Each structure stands twice: as structure tokens, then as C-alpha cells.
Amino acid sequence: MPSTVAERLAQRILQDHHIQVSPPRLAIAAYVLATDDHPSADQVWERVKAELPGVSRATVYNTLNLLVEKSLLCEHVLAEGRRVYDANTERHHHFIDERTGRIENIPWGQLKVSGLEGLGGVKVSDYQVVVRGRRI
């Protein structure tokens, strides 16, 4: 039973958050918590099936929702009905490649937004810049 680094890390994280560990959850978490991609639920499913052929789609969806609920994962709806998962739970901005659809994180410090104080009558709790374009 070769447990990878990602799996051991995932196991640790699940336990720390009082989430009962199981093979599907371990496989899902090991992938989704380690990747820099922004996979959709179905992409996670495809990926996890390679390792654990029996997992059902429902389990993947339910586990992702669980991880979001426990704040281990963020859910973004950035484009075209694509609900996407992101292990980076710190504040950051997003870049969407128009050609590939690929979503990348932009470190928080890299962009600065000014003028927010000028928004009258609103209490801002969060904001982000969404950049669209293409890699060259």
C-alpha cells in the first residue's frame, strides 16, 4: 500500500479537521488539496477514478462539498457554469486564459485595487480582480 506524500498529508489534514478518513476521501483530498489546477468536480472524478476505479460521482461531489464546508477548499464560479475548486484558501486574484480556459491564481500582493473606500454605503467583505487574456 504505497502511500504518497500527498496522501499522507491529506490524511493528516482530514484528521485534523475531524473528517473521517476513507479511501475515496483520501484519494480526492490528496489530489485536490495538492494541485494548482482549478479542477471541476468532474475533472476530480476522472482523476480519482484512475486510482480508485470504483468511486461514484456522487461521492466525489459530496466530498468536495464537505471540504468546502470545512473551509479546506474554495469554490469559484468564474466562467460559464464552471464550478471550480481551489485549494488556495488565502485571498488571491484570478487569471483566466481565454484560449484554454485554464484558471490561474494571481498572488494577492501582485495587484492593488484603489477606490474601494469611495464606494458609498457598502461594507466590503471581500473583493478580487478577475483578469482575462492569453498567455504568450
Q: Which residues bind a second copy (CB under 8 A)?
A: 77-83, 95, 97-98, 106, 110-116, 118-119, 121-136
Q: Which CB sits closer to a second copy, 52 or 119?
A: 119
Q: How far is CA 60 from CA 4, 25, 29, 92, in A?
A: 20, 8, 10, 25
- Non-local (6+) Cβ contacts of 114 within 8 A are none
Q: Please give the distance of CA 56 from its chain centroid, rounded to a whole number.
A: 20
Q: Which of residues 21-50 bind DNA (CB under 7 A)?
A: 22-25, 40-42
Tally of residues, the chain: 136
Q: Which does 54 bind (CB under 5 to 8 A by kind): DNA, a second copy, none?
A: DNA
Residue 58 makes contact with DNA by CB under 7 A: yes
Q: 62 is in the binding site of which of DNA, a second copy, none (Cβ under 5 to 8 A by kind)?
A: DNA
A 10 A CB-CB count for 65 gives 13
Among 6, 11, 35, 61, interactor with DNA by CB under 7 A: 61
Q: Which is nearer to DNA, 40 or 105 (CB)?
A: 40
| Residue 63 binds DNA (CB under 7 A) | yes
Task: Report the distance separating Cα 44 and Cα 30, nearest Å.
Answer: 11
